[in-house]
């Protein structure tokens, strides 16, 4: 009876761990930033397009003119999107579809669309987005830790 | 015929006495609804939101009552476990339903540890469970603050600057849960006559109700009821009373943790150092408003309590503002009602207990006189 109970508990714990691991993978959120900007690579310049529309699941998430940046959020380790590119004013529209694998550890990924469209190596058009904290964020905040409103001013250095 | 006539008013009196608190609330709500000026759709939407937000948390209180341990103020411990889990989930950037599921799973081991600790202390303080669990929650709040304010970021890695305090350790006073906000409530949600029904959340609550009904019929559930009725008799019947009581507290703490995740995903924002502090008080007040007592509570009490207590919560500021011209009065009224209901329920419980004791003593005396 005791062995059966231990086995049941062990199985339950293993199932919970398995679900938790699955959630860690499928629920990992990322933000992808789409840049329609000129790209310098190997001494060559790849010019930004006149207009790029980014679609995710047939829904437009960004409409980028030259020099613009758009973004889309998603969960999981790969991201599929479609591009409708107009390279020059009054030019013809070209359609592209991509599925990109995303590094697990990176919250934000910048994709340079002109580089992606030109089929350049990944390191040319993909980079990590590193947010820069603003001056306001650098200032410490006051923490109120109980209902008597006693702020820990000394500890927080306020 | 005569017996029938005398038993009917007695029954009515007993009903009135048992349902005094819910009846009082129904009367106050009936007065406040027209004064507040809220539309029925608005009111129903608000009540539905609060029902889905709070019901699971309040259900977590039922099992310790079944085991005779009274109102578990220690449910705050489960809430703290859930908050720690949510801090990690937010920091690891796990979004949506997976984030909610992961937070629930992560809260379980923490809740189990805290529940065992709480249960062991409550076993050592038999007969004083409620006040002891209340004090334990204060003590554990200190431990929680030590972990969150000093250990997170220094000993426990925190990756993101929007969670960590700029000084390099400790968690900010507010954690943004936008990435999981209402993802459970919006799953399968439908609109009926302008009222949004969070179907998935209600299904989870319904499943929990079914589990509680099933649990009452299991061997462990029967043991808990036996312990709740009379510990000595249960012990004589071969039930491990201390273990049964401890399990009831562990289950309650785990359920409170899961309930807190559901609560906070609905709120979409977590006040790191205060979200848990009042949660036990409001859940217990809602359960008591539903007609429960320290030694008797049902699933029906949970739902009636959430609806009445939170309807008054919605109405009070507006009604207070219209009656007195000051909205703050309504806010004070809400807090007054919460604490007042708990006080009245505890006094009523103690009075009933003493009356029953006196009645038993009188009966014994009469029996002894007859024997003489």
Whichever domain contains A123, its CATH number is: 2.60.40
Contact B152, B165 (CB under 8 A): no
> E strands along chain A, which residues?
29-35, 39-41, 44-46, 51-56, 59-65, 69-75, 78-86, 93-101, 108-112, 126-128
Helix, coil or strand: residue B156? strand
Sheet (strand A59-65) strand order: A59-65, A51-56, A78-86, A93-101
The verdict on residue A24 lying in a domain is no
Name every chain A residue with its beta carbon within 8 A of the beta carbon of B96.
27, 29, 75
Cβ contact A147–B274 (<8 Å): yes
Domain annotation covers residue A117: yes
Which of B221, B177, B76 is CA-nearest to residue B136?
B76
Distance CA B263, CA B276 (A): 11
Asked if B145 lies within 8 A of A145 by C-beta distance, the reply is yes
Contact assignment for B102 to A24 by CB distance below 8 Å: yes
Q: Is B289 left (phi over 0), alpha (psi -120 to 50) or beta?
A: alpha
Task: Sort residue B270 into left (φ over 0), alpha (ψ -120 to 50) or beta.
Answer: beta
pLDDT score, position B95: 94
- Can you tell me the distance from the alpha carbon of A17 to that of A91, in angstroms, rounded to the nearest whole number? 54
Q: Does B274 touch chain A (CB under 8 A)?
A: yes
Q: How many CA atoms lie within 13 A of B282 on its CB side?
A: 23
Residue A84 domain-assigned?
yes
- Counted across chains A and B, CB pairs separated by less than 8 A come out at 83
SS3 B275: coil
Best of B85, B86, B94, B184 to disrupt the A interface by mutation (most A CBs within 10 Å)?
B94
Nearest to B149 among A131, A143, A157 (CB): A143
pLDDT tens-digit profile, chain B (372 residues):
444 555 788 888 877 777 888 888 898 889 888 888 889 999 999 999 999 999 999 999 999 999 999 888 889 999 999 999 999 999 999 999 999 999 999 999 999 999 999 999 999 998 888 899 999 999 999 999 999 999 999 999 999 888 999 888 999 999 999 999 999 999 999 999 889 999 999 999 999 999 999 999 999 999 999 999 999 999 999 999 999 999 999 999 999 999 999 999 999 999 999 888 888 888 998 998 888 888 889 999 999 999 998 998 888 888 878 877 777 777 777 777 777 777 877 787 778 778 888 888 888 888 888 877
Q: Does B147 touch chain A (CB under 8 A)?
A: no
d(CA B287, CA B293): 8
Residue B171's closest CA among B179, B181, B163? B163
Which structural domain, as residue segments, surrounds residue A63? 29-138
B107 vs B114: CA distance, rounded Å: 10
CA distance B277 to chain A (A): 8
Cβ of residue B186 closer than 8 Å to a chain A Cβ: no
**Residues of A whose CB is below 8 A from B168:** none
B105 contacts A16? CB cut-off 8 A: yes
Question: With an 8 Å Cβ cutoff, is B149 touching chain A?
Answer: yes
- Is residue A21 a part of any domain in this protein? no
d(CA B329, CA B320): 6
Q: Which residues of A touch B145 (CB under 8 A)?
A: 145
Q: Identify the residue among A5, A16, A23 best suited for mutation to test binding to B, counting B beta carbons within 10 A and taking the highest.
A: A23
Considering only CA atoms, which of A33, A32, A41 is closest in space to residue A115? Answer: A41
Instruction: Please count the structural domains in chain B.
Output: 1
pLDDT at B77: 95
- Structural domain boundaries enclosing B263: 2-371
Q: Is B101 on the interface with A (CB under 8 A)?
A: yes
Own/partner pairs, B38-47, CB within 8 angstroms, 24+ separation: B38/B314, B38/B315, B38/B318, B41/B193, B41/B194, B41/B195, B43/B311, B43/B314, B43/B315, B44/B195, B45/B194, B45/B195, B45/B196, B46/B310, B46/B314, B47/B307, B47/B310, B47/B311, B47/B314
Number of folded domains that form chain A = 1
Instruction: Supply φ then ψ for residue B355, to 5 degrees.
Output: -60, -45
- Which residue's entry shows tokens 């997170």? B152
Q: Which of residues 305-364 of B touch A (CB under 8 A)?
A: none
**Which of A27, A134, A157 to probe by mutation at the B interface, max B CB count within 10 Å?**
A27
- Token look-up 């990756």 returns B159
Mutation to test the B interface, candidates A77, A128, A143, A152, most B Cβ within 10 Å: A143
Token pair belonging to B216: 């009452």
Contact status of A43 with chain B (Cβ, < 8 Å): no
Q: What pLDDT does residue A153 have?
A: 38
**Is A40 contained in some domain?**
yes
Q: Does residue A123 sit at the B interface (CB-CB below 8 Å)?
A: no
Q: Does residue A123 form part of some domain?
A: yes
CATH number for the domain spanning B242: value is 1.10.3470
Q: Classify residue A33: in a domain, yes or no.
A: yes
- Spell out, as residue ranges, where chain A has pLDDT lower than 70: 1, 133-140, 142-158
For B354, other C-beta atoms within 10 Å of its C-beta total: 10
Is residue A116, in this structure, part of any structural domain at all?
A: yes
Distance from CA of A146 to the nearest CA of B (A): 7
Quote the CA–CA distance of B104 and A67 in Å, as a whole number: 43
- The reply to whether A30 touches chain B by the CB within 8 Å rule is yes
Give B253's strand partners: none
Q: Do B167 and A140 touch (CB under 8 A)?
A: yes
């Amino acid at each position: 009876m005791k062995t059966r109970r231990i086995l049941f508990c062990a199985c339950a714990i293993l199932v919970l761990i398995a679900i938790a691991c699955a959630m860690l993978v499928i629920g990992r959120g990322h933000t992808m930033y789409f840049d329609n900007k000129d790209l310098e690579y190997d001494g060559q310049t790849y010019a930004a397009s006149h207009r790029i529309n980014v679609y995710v699941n047939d829904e437009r998430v960004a409409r980028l003119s030259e020099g613009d940046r758009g973004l889309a959020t998603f969960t999981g380790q790969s991201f599929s999107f479609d591009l409708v590119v107009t390279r020059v004013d009054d030019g013809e529209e070209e359609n592209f579809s991509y599925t990109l694998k995303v590094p697990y550890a990176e919250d934000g990924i910048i994709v340079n669309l002109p580089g992606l469209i030109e089929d350049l190596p990944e390191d040319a058009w993909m980079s990590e987005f590193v947010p820069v904290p603003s001056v306001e964020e650098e200032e410490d905040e006051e923490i109120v830790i109980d209902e008597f409103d006693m702020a820990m001013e000394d500890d927080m250095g306020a | 015929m005569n017996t029938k006539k005398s038993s009917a008013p007695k029954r009515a009196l007993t009903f009135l006495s048992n349902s005094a608190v819910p009846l009082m609330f129904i009367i106050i709500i009936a007065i406040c609804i027209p004064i507040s000026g809220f539309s029925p759709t608005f009111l129903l939407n608000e009540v539905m939101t609060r029902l889905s937000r709070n019901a699971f948390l309040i259900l977590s209180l039922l099992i310790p009552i079944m085991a005779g341990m009274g109102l578990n103020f220690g449910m705050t411990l489960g809430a703290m476990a859930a908050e720690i889990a949510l801090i990690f989930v937010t920091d690891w950037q796990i979004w949506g339903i997976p984030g909610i599921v992961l937070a629930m799973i992560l809260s379980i081991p923490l809740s189990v540890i805290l529940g065992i600790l709480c249960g062991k202390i409550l076993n050592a303080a038999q007969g004083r469970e409620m006040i002891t669990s209340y004090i334990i929650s204060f003590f554990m709040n200190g431990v929680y603050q030590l972990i969150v304010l000093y250990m997170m970021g220094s000993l426990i890695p925190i990756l993101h600057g929007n969670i960590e305090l700029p000084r390099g350790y400790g968690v900010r006073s507010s954690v943004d849960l936008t990435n999981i906000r209402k993802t459970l409530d919006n799953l399968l949600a439908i609109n009926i006559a302008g009222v949004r029904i969070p179907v998935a959340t209600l299904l989870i609550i319904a499943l929990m109700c079914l589990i509680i009904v099933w649990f009452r019929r299991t061997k462990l559930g029967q043991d808990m009821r036996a312990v709740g009725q009379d510990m000595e008799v249960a012990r004589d019947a071969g039930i491990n009373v201390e273990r049964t009581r401890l399990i009831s507290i562990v289950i309650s703490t785990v359920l409170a943790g899961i309930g807190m995740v559901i609560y906070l995903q609905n709120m979409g924002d977590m006040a790191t150092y205060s979200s848990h502090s009042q949660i036990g008080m409001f859940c217990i007040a809602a359960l008591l408003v539903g007609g429960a007592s320290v030694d008797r509570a049902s699933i029906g009490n949970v739902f009636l309590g959430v609806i009445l207590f939170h309807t008054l919560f919605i109405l009070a500021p507006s009604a207070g503002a219209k009656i007195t011209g000051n909205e703050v009065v309504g806010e004070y009224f809400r807090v007054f009602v919460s604490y007042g209901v708990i006080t009245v329920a505890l006094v009523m419980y103690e009075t009933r207990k003493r009356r029953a004791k006196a009645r038993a003593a009188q009966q014994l005396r009469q029996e002894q006189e007859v024997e003489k």
